[in-house]
Copies of this chain bind each other. A is one copy, B any other.
Amino acid sequence: ANTLGLVAVKANGEVLDCMNTLKKDNTGYHLKHLFVGSEGTLGFVTEVAIQCPPKPQSVSLALLGVVDFEHALRTFRLARTMLCEILSSCELMDDNCVTPVVNTLGVRNPLAEYPFYVLIEVSGSNAAHDEEKLNAFLESAMGEGIVSDGTYTNEPSRMQNIWQLRERIAEALLRHGFVYKYDVSLPHDDFYQLIPVLQERLRGTEAQIVSGYGHLGDGNLHLNICSPEFSSELLAQIEPFVFKWISERGGSISAEHGIGFKKTKFLKFSKSDAAIRTMQQIKQLFDPQGILNPYKVLPPE
């Protein structure tokens, strides 16, 4: 949505100039979007214009402890209503994620232990207004019993500490051996349900930690499964089960990271047969000899 224009070189060497710095342009087909997310399989992007919002004057961060996922979702919904135009992040972390960050990396958790944590960031142009909105939100959230405990700060070093609890999860989990990582989108009501389903399914296998965290506001879950070392038996328990489960709920098997070459055979769980055939026709049109980033994104025909 923030890519205004780009220039790409096609497989035949032709320079396809779709450069633009305008917010609105409704002339012809919007070709730039074909290149965004195509992982270099349709052309080599050499220039891009991106719309940048103004840097916010004020940023504050709250870390909240909640008793279950339902309360986490209610926290998000209340934040969307009460913080509205200043809500800039709403992240979820379960205790299976946060505990390794605390125990393995020594990051301090300013709250007591809770099954789930919600991180709320607000960004705005007036610090006093933002703080007042955040206070009103926290009062409601705690008053209604949605949130059990919480802390908030606009002090940079304390904000950094809280963000570490979220941003160092991948690093902490890797210390436990091999990590099977998935980056998926799900409708909000199903957002976390995949984790207990997998915990049940993988009981008795080598899986030691089955954890979920991610961008709750965007519906984007990071599923991480840790085992002492890679096991193809465990992998066979996870895939394609995970992708089928997501597909049945209208989710996406790759929210941010794309398809690459490992997921081409699973693309069908997120895209219809007709859409995949159309993608193959477009690939054929842009790169008839298949020389651009071969074996990526699309399954073999």
Contact with B along A250-285 (1 / 0, CB 8 A): 111111111100010001001110111011011001
Number of interface residues of A (CB under 8 A): 73
The reply on A28 being an interface residue by CB < 8 A is yes
| Residues from chain B with Cβ under 8 Å of A202 in the complex | none
- Least CB separation from A271: chain B residue: B28
Q: A12-20, A96-104, A152-160, A168-176: which one contacts chain B?
A: A12-20
Q: A72 at interface (Cβ–Cβ under 8 A)?
A: no
B17, B85, B220, B276: which contacts A124 (Cβ < 8 A)?
A: B85
Nearest B residue to A258 via CB reads: B26
**Given A21-B187, A250-B21, A275-B17 in contact, is the A28-B298 Cβ separation under 8 Å?**
yes
1/0 contact string of A1-40 vs chain B (CB within 8 Å): 1000000000000111110111111111111011011100
Interface residues of chain A, those whose CB is within 8 Å of chain B, are 1, 14-18, 20-31, 33-34, 36-38, 42, 54, 56-57, 80-86, 123-126, 129, 132-133, 185-187, 215, 218-220, 250-259, 263, 267, 270-272, 274-276, 278-279, 281-282, 285, 297-298
